[in-house]
Copies of this chain bind each other. A is one copy, B any other.
Amino acid sequence: MAKNVLIIGAGGVAQVTAHKLAQNASEFGALHIASRTQSKADDIIASVKAKGHQVEFTSHSVDAMDSKAVADLIRKIDANIVINVGSAFVNMTVLQGCIETGAAYLDTAIHEDPAKICETPPWYGNYEWKRREAVEKAGMTAILGVGFDPGVVNAYARLAEDEYFDKIESIDIVDINAGSHGRWFATNFDPEINFREFTGTVYAWQGGKWTENKMFEVGREWDLPVVGKRTAYLSGHDEVHSLSARYKDSDVRFWMGFGEHYINVFTVLQNLGLLSEQPVKTAEGLEVVPLKVVKAVLPDPASLAPDYEGKTCIGDLVKGTRDGKPGEVFIYNVADHKDAYNEVGSQGISYTAGVPPVAAAILVARGEWDVKKMVNVEDLPARPFLELLGKLGLPTRVIDATGDHPL
Contacts and interface: CB of A to CB of B under 8 A. Distances in A.
A294 B274 CA distance: 7
Contacts of A273: 297
Nearest to A284: B292
Interface string A269-310: 101111010001111101011101111111000000000000
A272 B292 contact: no
Interface residues of A, number: 28
A401 interface: no
Contacts of A282: 288-289, 292-293, 295-296
Contacts of A274: 274, 293-294, 297
A292 B297 contact: no
A274 B293 CA distance: 8
B271 A185 contact: yes
Contacts of A296: 280-283, 288, 290
Given A265-B268, A271-B184, A272-B265, A283 B293 contact: no
Q: Which of A269, A274, A281, A292 has the most CB of B within 10 A?
A: A274
Given A269-B268, A272-B265, A292 B286 contact: yes
A314 to B, nearest CB: 27
26 contacts: A184-B271, A185-B268, A185-B271, A185-B272, A264-B264, A265-B272, A268-B268, A272-B294, A274-B274, A274-B293, A274-B294, A274-B297, A276-B297, A280-B293, A280-B296, A280-B297, A282-B289, A282-B295, A283-B292, A283-B296, A286-B286, A286-B288, A286-B292, A288-B288, A288-B293, A290-B297
